[in-house]
């Protein structure tokens, strides 16, 4: 059945009114100062964020900014083995970035994902296209934690990146089989132990594919490593990662 023009017009008007009401009740906010702003990052926060953008020189594997241009790898990547091939993050994990991600992660600021993804794609689209990924996979939350929080912030971010770049997103392939303690409360050794056998695969996938793992923060890389190890073991040829923020390299 084909709808007439009048019914289509009424539906369009209802949608416009609904969007107007949503903006009135829940105005768009700058993801960094939380103040109401028409769209995106406010000019004041843009100034604060400028020195926090990750630029060269950066680690060729994890993408952390380096303080010595002669070095190719940060301390973590030079001293240890990673299972991912390379990765990129937008900002160094300092204020106001760290607080913004905290609000995004724990205080239901889901709308922030849209702005994070826009900046991330603007910064790294060429790099991501060069990786030529078959699929984006967000780091999963355990079902108990996801139920309590109501959402997985990595899924929201991956969905926005996928939408902007027309890339498929798979949220059911990798599952969290172990309800681990928060990584921020663990030391380096504790983090590795905490993530042992923490992830599993729900089904098989095509061998030889390229996967980009998406998460909010990269610190030591243990979470990304655990997921990458699982994917490589199952037959992925290349595994890369994308995050909003990253720790500092030395």
- Can you tell me the distance from the alpha carbon of 111 to that of 27, in angstroms, rounded to the nearest whole number? 11
**Tens of pLDDT along 136-172?**
999 999 999 999 999 999 999 999 999 999 999 999 9
Output the pTM of the full model: 0.84
- Can you tell me the distance from the alpha carbon of 49 to that of 22, in angstroms, rounded to the nearest whole number? 28
Q: Which secondary-structure segment (H or E) carries 149?
A: helix 143-149
Higher pLDDT: 1 or 42? It is 42
Q: By mean pLDDT, which of 24-33, 86-95, 227-236 is the weakest?
A: 24-33
- Can you tell me the distance from the alpha carbon of 104 to that of 113, in angstroms, rounded to the nearest whole number? 8
How does residue 39 score in pLDDT terms, banded at 50, 70 and 90?
confident
* Number of C-beta neighbours around residue 249 at 10 A: 23
């Amino acid at each position: 059945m084909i709808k007439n023009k009048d019914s289509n017009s009424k539906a369009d008007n209802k949608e416009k009114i609904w969007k107007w009401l949503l903006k009135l009740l829940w105005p768009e906010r700058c993801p960094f100062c939380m103040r109401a702003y028409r769209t995106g990052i406010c000019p004041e926060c843009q100034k604060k964020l400028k020195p926090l953008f990750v630029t060269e020189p950066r680690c060729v594997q994890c993408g952390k900014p380096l303080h010595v241009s002669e070095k190719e790898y940060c301390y973590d990547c030079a001293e240890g083995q990673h299972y991912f091939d390379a990765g990129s993050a937008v900002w160094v994990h300092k204020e106001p970035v760290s607080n913004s991600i905290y609000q995004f992660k724990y205080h239901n600021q889901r709308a922030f994902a849209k702005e994070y993804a826009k900046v991330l794609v603007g910064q790294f689209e060429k790099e991501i296209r060069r990786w030529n990924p078959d699929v984006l996979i967000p780091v999963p939350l355990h079902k108990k934690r996801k139920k309590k929080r109501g959402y997985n912030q990595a899924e929201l971010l991956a969905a926005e990146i996928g939408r902007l770049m027309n890339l498929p997103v798979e949220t059911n392939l990798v599952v969290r089989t172990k309800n681990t303690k928060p990584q921020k409360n663990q030391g380096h050794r504790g983090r590795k132990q905490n993530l042992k056998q923490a992830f599993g695969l729900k089904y098989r996938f095509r061998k030889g594919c390229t996967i980009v793992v998406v998460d909010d923060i990269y610190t030591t890389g243990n979470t990304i490593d655990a997921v990458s190890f699982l994917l490589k073991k199952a037959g992925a040829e290349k595994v890369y990662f994308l995050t909003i923020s990253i720790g500092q390299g030395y």
